[in-house]
Homo-oligomer: A and B are copies of this chain.
Amino acid sequence: MTTRTADTDVPRRRARRGEGDRLREDILQATIGLLAETGDLDAVSIRAVAKRVGVTPPSIYLHFPDKQSLLDAACEPVFADLARYFAEACHGVSSPLERLGLMGVAYVQFALDNREPFRIVFMSRCESDTIMSMTPADLEAQTAFGPVIQTVVEAQQAGLLGAGNAREVAMRLWIGVHGVASLLISKPYFPWPPIEQLVNDFVCMVGLGLLVQTRVPGSAADKFATMLADLPVVESASPAGNVPKSAS
């Protein structure tokens, strides 16, 4: 008749010798589940996680130094999925340029499918960030950022994109779709256009921009001058919609 103060349904069996790490895994799963089900970071308190696991709060500190570390660790397996999103989006698509666009769309979809982890990793302050304090090399090797860079390189080698630092090009692409993802998450009630259209239009814009930026020679001003000169002139007061014009 032990008086259980731990407020839980099924009081965990204590782990066997050497199996202490089992609890660690259970804590992570409980955290991930709580994040996904509540969709609210505030609902994921140390006490709530402990209760779900069937253990008392201090036990968590045997496996994680503090709450932030727990959250970071819980987001890691979620983010491992991002690579899968990318792979599936690119499946069977040969053009590297098209693949980059599809990866962008997939990034937004991933963010919307994993809002809280995305928030934790990309939208909250983190002093000593595990993911982000990696060296550039590690970052490319261990995160989903690597495939993006690789695809940029392929596009360059195929002559679709002009030469340029592939890492920085990939960053620009990432930054762009990150704007979409983070705004859709933080401002869901904003009067956005239909999401699919919004994402497509944006990705299209960025893709075209990159094309021109890397292929037209000269300074930024030169590029603009060239494009303004080359593109068909549009009449000033156009009424509405995409008016088809006499192409030259």
Contacts and interface: CB of A to CB of B under 8 A. Distances in A.
Interface in A148-189: 149-150, 153, 156-168, 171-172, 175-180, 182-183, 186-187, 189
A124 B125 CA distance: 11
A21 to B, nearest CB: 30
A193 interface: yes
B224 A190 contact: no
Given A167-B244, A244-B149, A183 B178 contact: yes
Contact of A209 (B156, B205, B236, B245): B205
Contact of A237 (B157, B206, B245): B157
A129 B208 contact: no
A226 to B, nearest CB: 9
A238 interface: yes
Interface in A207-227: 207-217, 220, 223-224, 227
Contacts of A125: 40-41, 119, 186
Contacts of A15: none
Contact of A179 (B119, B177, B193): B177
Contacts of A230: 230
Q: How large is the interface on A (under 10, 10 to 19, 20 to 34, 35 or more residues)?
A: 35 or more
Nearest to A184: B175
Contact of A182 (B160, B165, B178): B178
Contacts of A186: 122-126
Interface stretch (A24-32, A45-53, A81-89, A132-140): A132-140
Interface of A: 40-41, 97, 119, 122-126, 129, 132-133, 135-136, 139-140, 146, 149-150, 153, 156-168, 171-172, 175-180, 182-183, 186-187, 189-193, 198, 200-202, 204-217, 220, 223-224, 227-228, 230-247
20 contacts: A122-B186, A125-B186, A132-B190, A140-B244, A153-B246, A157-B236, A162-B234, A165-B242, A165-B244, A172-B202, A175-B179, A175-B202, A176-B202, A178-B179, A204-B220, A208-B212, A208-B223, A209-B210, A215-B234, A217-B242
Q: Which 3 pairs between the two chains have the least Cβ-Cβ distance?
A: A209-B209, A179-B179, A163-B238
